[in-house]
């Protein structure tokens, strides 16, 4: 079973409205502070914070102790302008865990599909970003079909967390993206799987005749 922790910033919208009209930069500063702590502290637990809606924080937590996750939240609470409400769900896929399919969490490996677009730097700056977002939108809907959770990492990089049994989806990714490297890692926790996926991408950069590679 996969495990996901969700942290909801209660009263977030109301807080933003109290800041007045000259507020967007203030909101960005607070969001950045929260996300810095979320990413750094989650990594210490071998979890992974998924960049997502700013009023809801998602943490992939396969193989992660709940006590460690509570420590992550306690540190976020110190910089959050509003109360933080958390829940932990489990499920047969990361998405079903996010939706709270079950409270019974048994151990399960997680697979990470790390996609790196080719020729990104050759595009005009904003056009490259638009191309990345269009591809990301398409992939989000594709991985939704296997209960995957995605994250845009910036630049030309996306990651998707899925159950290892659903790795057949890589064939569909190859059909959609003709110019991309697909590094795949399987681990007992999100951090391990991400590290292996990054190593897979390194292997692909050194072996240009391949389009995907798996390390487990």
Give the domain ranges of the chain.
2-98, 110-215
Q: Quick one: pLDDT at residue 44?
A: 97
What pLDDT digit, counting tens, does each position of 11-42 carry?
999 999 999 999 999 999 999 999 999 999 99
Q: Quick one: pLDDT at residue 102?
A: 72
Please state whether beta strands 157-162 and 48-50 pair in parallel, antiparallel, or not at all (unpaired). Answer: unpaired
Residues in the chain: 216
From first to last of the 216 residues of the chain, give the pLDDT tens digit.
Answer: 899 999 999 999 999 999 999 999 999 999 999 999 999 999 999 999 998 889 999 999 999 999 999 999 999 999 999 999 999 999 999 999 999 877 778 778 999 999 998 877 777 889 989 989 999 999 999 999 999 999 999 988 999 999 999 999 999 999 999 889 999 999 999 999 999 999 999 999 999 899 998 999
CATH topology match: 2-98 vs 110-215: yes
Distance of CA 158 to the CA centre of its chain: 8
Report residue 110: phi and psi, to 5°.
-125, 145
CATH of the domain spanning 110-215: 3.30.70.270
Q: Quick one: pLDDT at residue 121?
A: 74
What residues contact residue 87 under an 8 Å CB cut-off, 6+ apart?
5, 6, 100
Q: Which helix (H) or strand (E) holds 181?
A: strand 180-187
The 8-class DSSP code of residue 165 comes to: G
Q: Quick one: pLDDT at residue 100?
A: 85
- Decide if 100 contacts 92 (C-beta within 8 A): no
Query: Would you identify the CATH topology of the domain 2-98?
Result: Alpha-Beta Plaits (3.30.70)
Residue 112 forms beta bridges with which residues? 161, 185
């Amino acid at each position: 079973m996969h495990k996901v922790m969700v942290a909801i910033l209660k009263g977030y919208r109301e807080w933003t409205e109290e800041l007045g009209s000259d507020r967007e930069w203030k909101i960005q500063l607070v969001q950045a502070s929260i996300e810095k702590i979320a990413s750094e502290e989650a990594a210490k637990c071998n979890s992974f914070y998924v960049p997502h809606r700013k009023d809801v924080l998602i943490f992939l937590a396969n193989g992660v102790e709940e006590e460690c996750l509570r420590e992550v939240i306690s540190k976020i609470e110190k910089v959050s302008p509003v109360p933080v409400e958390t829940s932990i769900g489990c499920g047969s896929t990361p998405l079903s865990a996010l939706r709270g399919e079950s409270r019974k969490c048994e151990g399960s490996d997680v697979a990470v599909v790390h996609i790196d677009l080719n020729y990104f730097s050759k595009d005009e700056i904003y056009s490259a970003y638009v191309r990345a977002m269009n591809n990301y939108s398409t992939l989000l809907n594709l991985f939704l079909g296997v209960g995957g959770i995605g994250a845009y990492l910036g630049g030309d990089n996306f990651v998707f967390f899925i159950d290892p049994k659903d790795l057949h989806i890589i064939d569909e990714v190859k059909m959609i993206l003709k110019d991309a490297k697909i590094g795949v890692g399987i681990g007992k926790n999100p951090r391990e799987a991400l590290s292996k996926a990054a190593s897979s991408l390194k292997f692909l950069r050194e072996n240009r005749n391949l389009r995907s590679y798996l390390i487990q």
